[in-house]
């Protein structure tokens, strides 16, 4: 990844002092929404667009190439400290967070958030910190709830919040969670984004004061930006919880913003409630498989010892080993049954399950 050491002189037109910026986050199924969104932007669309789309760390990063075929606007992976210019679409590179600062972008390998890098929340949070009421945040199709906390931050710093209509999304979880947890200004199909954004960017910006403290917001931006020592201050963001980080096993601080609850450890990893539950569920499965592996190794060894005793004409010892191997096999099967019935729960699935139960009893 090519990086610039410092911003240096701007070589491109600089964003005007009153221009809005647009930040977009998507995950599973989001590619169709992004295509519809970009395809409808006019060639003279001024507001810069920043996109964080969940992808595998080893992905080839073809999103800019794909979107470039749909628009005459310049689309490219962002470069560290690249100046922010009007009429540009900046895409987070694979395995890197995309952050927005005054006049330029940052491209970092800060800690994963919601188990992703790039993640949506760091982009949204940094934009809200740098540009306050000039930010328009957009969430499109995706699973779980990355971006919800970031959209809440944008709205509470005077910006505008938009989500794709869940009925129009390939995977509706992210838009649905945003509608439930964050104040939303507009909920429309992806095909309506261009016209809506053009209208919003041409409107006069109201003088809205931030409703949240800026120091914690700046700290979280610094954590994503890899500022030395920033993560060690993470516990100041909330109360210590009894939960540990699924990635590094550090203690998690519980952060509450409105109805949004999330968690962060001192190494910088961050989770929404749904993502933490998903991570803990996977961790339980891994540990159960580890326990089952140990049991099955003991079964193999006991049977091997039983065969050895049988060959040495010691039937009592052989029978004892074979019996214990059988008991271990039964315990191993119990663990396997637990793994097979393990369920990955989210707030959405809990709501659906209760809804189904209510319908059955009605």
Please tell me which of 204-213, 261-270, 277-286 the model is most confident about, judged by mean pLDDT: 261-270
At 351, the pLDDT band (50, 70, 90 cuts) reads confident
Q: What is the mean pLDDT of the segment spanning 240-268?
A: 94
**What is the rounded distance in angstroms from the CA atom of residue 211 to the CA atom of residue 313?**
82
**Which pLDDT band, with edges at 50, 70 and 90, does 16 fall under?**
confident
Identify which of 99-113, 268-282, 330-344 has the greatest average pLDDT: 99-113
Same domain, 298 and 176: no
Give the residue-averaged pLDDT of 59-75.
Answer: 92
Same domain, 35 and 172: yes
Q: In what order do the strands lie in the sheet with 239-244?
A: 239-244, 251-257, 260-265, 270-272
CATH of residue 115: 3.40.50.180
Calculate mean pLDDT across residues 307-322.
97
Q: Are residues 183 and 57 in the same domain?
A: yes
What is the pTM assigned to this prediction?
0.87
Residues serving a catalytic function are 27, 54, 146
pLDDT-derived band at 206, boundaries 50, 70, 90:
confident
Residue 115 resides in a domain: yes
In angstroms, the Cα distances linking 205 to 18, 78, 187, 267 are 8, 27, 20, 38
Spatial neighbors of 114 by CB under 8 A, at least 6 apart, are 120, 121, 144, 145, 146, 270, 271, 272, 275
Q: Does 265 map to a domain?
A: no
3-state secondary structure 172-228: CHHHHHHHHHCCCCEEECHHHHHHHHHHHHHCCCCCCCCCCCHHHHHHHHHHHCCCC
Percent of the chain past pLDDT 90, that is, above it, reads 78
Range of the domain at 149: 21-202
| Local structure of 25: helix, strand or coil | strand
Last residue of a domain, one of 161, 187, 202: 202
Residue 231 in any domain: the answer is: no
pLDDT over threshold 70, residue 202: yes
Q: What angle do CA 95, 41, 200 make, to 5 degrees?
A: 95
Based on the domain organization, do 189 and 289 belong to the same domain? no
Same domain, 192 and 285: no
Q: What would the DSSP string read from start to end of 281-324?
A: HHHHHHHHHHHHHHHHHHHHHHHHHHHHHHHTT-HHHHHHHHHH
In a domain, 39, yes or no: yes
Domain tally, the chain: 2
Q: Quick check: is 326 in a domain?
A: yes
Out of 187, 202, 217, a domain closes at: 202
Per-residue pLDDT band at 56 (split at 50, 70, 90): confident
pLDDT for 205: 81
Residue 144 in any domain: the answer is yes
Question: Domain check: are 117 and 198 in the same one?
Answer: yes
pLDDT at residue 336 in the model: 93
Find out whether the peptide bond into 78 is cis, omega within 30 degrees of 0: no
Average pLDDT for residues 274-283, to the nearest whole number?
90
Interval 170-200: pLDDT, tens: 999 999 999 999 999 999 999 999 999 999 9
User: Is 228 within a domain?
Assistant: no
CA distance 213 to 218: 9
Mean per-residue pLDDT over the chain, rounded: 91
Q: What pLDDT sits at residue 350?
A: 76
* Residue that terminates a domain, selected from 186, 202, 218: 202
pLDDT-wise least confident of 7-11, 110-114, 227-231: 7-11
Q: Which of the four pLDDT bands, split at 50, 70 and 90, describes residue 4? A: low
């Amino acid at each position: 990844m090519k990086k610039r050491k410092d911003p240096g002189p701007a070589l491109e037109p600089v964003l005007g002092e009153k221009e809005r910026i647009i930040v977009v986050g998507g995950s599973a199924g989001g590619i169709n929404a992004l295509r519809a969104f970009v395809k409808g932007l006019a060639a003279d669309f001024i507001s810069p667009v920043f996109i964080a789309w969940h992808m595998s760390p080893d992905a080839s990063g073809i999103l800019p190439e794909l979107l470039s075929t749909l628009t005459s606007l310049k689309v490219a992976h962002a470069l560290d400290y690249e100046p922010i210019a009007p009429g540009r679409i900046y895409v987070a590179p694979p395995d890197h967070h995309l952050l927005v600062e005054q006049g330029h972008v940052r491209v970092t390998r800060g800690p994963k958030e919601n188990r992703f890098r790039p993640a949506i929340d760091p982009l949204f949070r940094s934009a809200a910190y740098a540009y306050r009421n000039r930010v328009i945040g957009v969430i499109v199709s995706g699973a779980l709830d990355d971006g919800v906390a970031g959209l809440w931050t944008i709205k509470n710093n005077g910006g505008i919040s938009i989500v794709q209509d869940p009925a129009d999304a390939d995977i509706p979880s992210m838009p649905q969670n945003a509608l439930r947890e964050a104040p939303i200004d507009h909920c429309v199909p992806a095909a309506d984004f261009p016209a809506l954004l053009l209208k919003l960017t041409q409107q006069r910006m109201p003088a809205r004061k931030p409703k949240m403290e800026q120091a914690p917001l700046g700290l979280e931006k610094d954590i994503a930006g890899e500022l030395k020592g920033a993560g060690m201050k993470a516990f100041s963001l909330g109360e210590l919880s009894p939960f540990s980080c699924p990635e590094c096993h550090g203690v998690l601080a519980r952060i509450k913003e409105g109805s949004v609850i999330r968690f962060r450890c001192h190494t910088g990893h961050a989770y929404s409630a749904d993502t933490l539950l998903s991570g803990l569920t996977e961790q339980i499965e891994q540990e159960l498989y580890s326990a089952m592996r140990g049991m099955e190794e003991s079964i193999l060894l006991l049977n091997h010892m039983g065969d050895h005793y049988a060959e040495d004409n010691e039937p009592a010892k052989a029978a004892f080993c074979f019996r214990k191997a059988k008991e271990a096999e039964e315990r191993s099967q119990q663990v396997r049954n637990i793994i097979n019935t393990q369920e990955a729960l989210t707030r959405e699935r809990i709501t659906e399950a209760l809804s189904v139960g209510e319908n059955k009893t009605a």
